[in-house]
Amino acid sequence: MATDTTEPHQPYRLLDDDYGSHAPAFDGHDDYKPSWSRRLFAWHSKFVDQFALDVMEKAFLFGESLDWDAAVPGGVDGLRELYGGDSLLDEPDAYYVEPADPNRFRLTKLDDLPDGGERFQLKFDSTYQTWDDTFCDEFGCHSSNEKVTARIWRHHDLSRPTAVCLHCWCGGYLRLEERVFAAKRLYEEGYNVVVVTLPFHGERTPTDAIFSGQFFPSPDLRRTNEAFGQAVSDVRLLTRWLKEEGFDGPMGLLGISLGGYITSLMISLFDTYDFAAPIIAPASFADILWWHGTERKARAMFEDAGVDREMLRAIWAVHCPLSYELKIPAERVLIVAGAGDAVVRPAQSLSLWSHWGEPELRWFAGSHLGHFRWLAGSAVGSDMLDFMNPVVDWLGELDFGR
């Protein structure tokens, strides 16, 4: 069932409070807020995020227009009716339908791994069909986006747990993502590791895009909604194939930023995953855009098109984790947040934490893009980005009988 977001105690409350105070919103969460020393050490990394926000706004707006009256029948009101209806939120299975099988999966061995393991590359066709059938041809006109690619680090013993990793915005280049997700370290810890390319990223970037991720997420509200639908469909198809291929151990999701948001959505829709760790993940993409839009061109463009914060929340509610209840046990969830994150502010992480019944929440001394390994305070080695230290620690604590 969808969650009623109209009452003050409901999921958007912390985000609403954040607009009024512009404060970190740690108050009232003493058990899980980062220490003052950790916040002090993280303070300087905010400057990295502030610079990045300026760049991200330019990237987000590059080449986009917001003439919704011309693009969609009924304009923004038509979009809200199409994607923001209560009936759709009450029955999300109508939107997130079971994906059809592709014609074939193409598996190519890359190299051998220690202890009898192997590393593969997997390719298959996305079988996603748009919710808006009038948008099907336009959405599917980018042939590169229809090819899904994944890298698999596979143990000889397929009963080992498997971590499926979802990357951040502007990412998707799998050789790099293997390093970002510390695939070698996770493999050494006993996990099978699968890193997958999200829609409109990496090898799936359209030829008319300037950079990976330009088309998703973007000011095109309809394409953004459909791309989240495609991401969910592709990940479901991938995890279903893994199970059919004999990966019968516990299977979970690790996601960073955009990938963390999709991770949060997946475990709010399906009970088929055994663990999950959203890392520096938004709770509401609408509020990310709106909060950072103050006195910025992006928000002015939306307002000129007749979109306010509540309208944006409604149009994007279909993929917002706050619209649904958590479907896996809270003790199998880890939220990782940056004490100095100026992009995904603490109110975002705490909104997920509160909405999900207060699962484990661990802070690292860094920001969204500023990672300083020597401040992480973990006994884990320094060959990883700061946000992966608490993830590897936590995965080692899960009792999967390895």
In whole angstroms, how far apart are CA 19 and each of 43, 140, 225, 347? 20, 37, 25, 10
The per-residue pLDDT for 17 is: 81
The per-residue pLDDT for 378 is: 43
Question: Which of 275, 258, 262 minimizes the C-alpha distance to 344?
Answer: 258
pLDDT tens per residue across span 367-397: 676 664 544 444 444 566 778 889 999 999 9
Euclidean distance between CA atoms 89 and 110, whole angstroms: 42
Euclidean distance between CA atoms 370 and 48, whole angstroms: 6
Which residues are CB-neighbours of 175 under 8 A, at least 6 positions away?
none
pLDDT band at 9 (very low <50, low <70, confident <90, very high): very low
Higher pLDDT, 292 or 261: 261
The per-residue pLDDT for 165 is: 99
Is pLDDT of 255 > 70? yes
Euclidean distance between CA atoms 70 and 73, whole angstroms: 7
The per-residue pLDDT for 157 is: 95
> Residue 70 has which token pair?
């011309």
| Residue whose entry in the numeric block shows the structure tokens 């997958």 | 196
Q: What is the mean pLDDT of residues 280-291?
A: 91
Q: For the domain 13-397, what is the CATH superfamily, name and number?
A: Alpha/Beta hydrolase fold, catalytic domain (3.40.50.1820)
Q: Is 63 helix (H, G, I), strand (E, B) or coil?
A: coil
Q: What is the mean pLDDT of residues 270-280?
A: 97
Euclidean distance between CA atoms 358 and 178, whole angstroms: 30
Q: What is the mean pLDDT of residues 102-114?
A: 96
* Residue 190 burial by Cβ neighbours in a 10 Å radius (0-12, 13-18, 19+): middle
Q: Global pTM? A: 0.88
Q: Tally the C-alpha atoms within 13 A of residue 160's C-alpha that lie toward its C-beta.
A: 22
pLDDT tens per residue across span 323-356: 999 999 999 999 999 887 878 888 899 999 999 9
Is pLDDT of 398 > 70? yes
Mean pLDDT of the residues in the chain: 85
pLDDT tens per residue across span 50-101: 655 555 555 555 455 566 665 677 788 889 999 988 889 999 999 999 999 9
Which region among 154-158, 249-253, 395-399 has the lowest average model confidence (pLDDT)?
Answer: 395-399
Is pLDDT of 262 > 90? yes
pLDDT band at 31 (very low <50, low <70, confident <90, very high): very low
In whole angstroms, how far apart are CA 282 and each of 49, 86, 169? 15, 22, 12
pLDDT tens per residue across span 118-146: 999 999 999 999 999 989 989 988 889 99
The per-residue pLDDT for 59 is: 55
